[in-house]
Amino acid sequence: MMDLYPLLNSLRIAAISAVIVFFIGIAAAYYIAKCPRIIKGVLDVIFTLPLVLPPTVVGYLLLLVLGPKRLIGSFFLEHFDQKLTMQWWSAIFAVTVIVFPLMYRTARGAFENFDENLASAGRTLGLSNTYIFWRIRIPACKQGIIAGVVLAFARALGEYGATSMIAGYTPGKTATVSTAVYNLWRIGNDELALKWVLINIAISAVVLLCINLVEKPYKRRSR
Amino acid sequence: MLYADFEKRLDLFTLKVHIDAESGIFSLFGASGAGKSMTLKCIAGIEKPDRGIIRLGDKVLFDSEKHIDLTPQKRHVGYLFQEYALFPDMTVAGNIKAGLHHLPRRERQAKAAELMERFRISPLADKRPATLSGGEKQRVALARIFASEPEVLLLDEPFSSLDTFLKWELIPYFKETLQSFAGCSIMVSHNIDEIISLCDTVSVIQNGVAEPAVGIDDFQAMIKAKYPSVYLRNS
């Protein structure tokens, strides 16, 4: 029986990151629409940048603030005796930043297609803005939002570059599926590396299948 | 009842509106893009005029000088949107209950049933808006508006998304509904027949400027004199 720790670790990192980007991605997509045009343009570039930057650059930038001798890293080390890097959960920082643009852009696309008259109708009927947001806007955009979360989760499972920089590879501690594949191949354990490769392909295929299942009824309805 | 005197700069022109409507059905008549819908949105508080006053009875909804600008939630206007703006993820009953949020939860069910009875949509209670016909959607939207107990009705091209046959079938019922309403109604339309068969007073709006309102008979005479060809085509 092979050690399944990397799978467990990958799944929990991906799941936690997906939950985090669900909220901050929706919030960013919602509030950016209300910004003046110039600020909107600048923020959009910043929010989308992690999508096109090499993950190693994101990893480097994260180490620049979270590293043990850096601003935030040293603060936590000093006051909480806690290193922010090389923990299993350090990968969450990396993965969250990397997958954030996927959630943000999908949610923004869904919000842009939302018929603002529905929100206006809610307001003239006396409904609170919170009610309108959670009961009218989010349900109307649910296909896009679910697709965004699943896409973010899928991408999170495969994150390698930034993760290996901020969490490293410690078997049984920070190992994930993608870092295990590289490190097993590096030490010549091709057989085990191949097993992880196959597992990885299987999971990704299932996730993509889920996205298609989510998107299909959406297309049918809009016709 | 409703007094509105305001200005708002738009891309192509400046909207200048002066409405002093008593109970009954007041109409804004004009071509597409003349600023009719924007006028309704300003009255409802969805859009904000640059300056002016909007009063409903003795309640001030908007006053640029006194910096009063009530939210749409506090204005108690019933807004019938062009495509009816029914909430797509709620059933017909859910849509109507959404208009009943001012009532305690346990009273909503009974009140919703009563409204659905009145607007003859009880059999549709569990249906989604996407499955309804245009006329059914209109009735659901009206029921939802009446659920919120508005003090004024704003009707934005209420028949533009219906075909002509259906429209003339619905107009008598629509008129009856509006006449049962104690407050005043403002309807915008670019259709002369709709206005003549529904409204009491008309103000013609052109490039954003609303002309003084006239009675429906004077409006008819004016259209006849000014645009005989239009009148003939439409009568």
DSSP line for A102-160 = HHHHHHHHHHHTS-HHHHHHHHHTT--HHHIIIIIIHHHTHHHHHHHHHHHHHHHHT--
Q: Per-domain residue ranges for chain B?
A: 2-76+153-234, 90-150
Question: What CATH number did the domain enclosing A214 receive?
Answer: 1.10.3720.10
> DSSP string spanning B75-143?
H-EEEE-TT----TTS-HHHHHHHTTTTS-HHHHHHHHHHHHHHTT-GGGTT--GGGS-HHHHHHHHHH
> In the structure, what pLDDT confidence band is assigned to residue B220 with cuts at 50, 70 and 90?
confident
Question: Could you tell me the pLDDT band of residue B230, with boundaries at 50, 70 and 90?
Answer: low
Contact: A125, B89; criterion CB under 8 Å: no
Question: How would residue B210 be classed by pLDDT, with cut points 50, 70 and 90?
Answer: confident
Report the gap between the CA of B206 and the closest CA in chain A (Å). Answer: 24
Q: Domain total for chain A?
A: 1
Give the Cα-Cα-Cα angle B28, B31, B37 (nearest 5 degrees). Answer: 55
pLDDT of residue A7: 92
Please indicate whether, in this complex, the C-beta atoms of B89 and A139 are within 8 angstroms of each other.
yes
Residues of chain B contacting residue A139, judged by C-beta atoms under 8 Å apart: 88-89
**A60: domain range?**
5-222
The DSSP output letter for B24 is E
At residue B8 the predicted structure's pLDDT band, cuts being 50, 70 and 90, is: very high
Task: List, as one string, the DSSP characters of B148-205.
Answer: T--SEEEEESTTTTS-HHHHHHHHHHHHHHHHT-SSEEEEEES-HHHHHHH-SEEEEE
Give the model's pLDDT for residue A171.
87
Structure tokens at A141: 């955009």
Domain covering B2-76+153-234: architecture: 3-Layer(aba) Sandwich (3.40)
Q: Predicted confidence band at B92 (pLDDT cuts at 50, 70, 90)?
A: very high
Residue A218: pLDDT above 80? no
The stretch A202-220 carries a mean pLDDT of 76
Residues of A in contact with B87 (CB under 8 A): 118, 121-122, 135-136, 140
Give the per-residue pLDDT at A223.
39
- Cβ atoms of A162 and A147 within 8 Å: the answer is no
- Pick among A113, A125, A129, A222 to test the B interface (most B CBs inside 10 A): A125
pLDDT digits (tens, 9 = 90+) for A10-54: 999 999 999 999 999 999 999 998 888 899 999 999 999 999 999
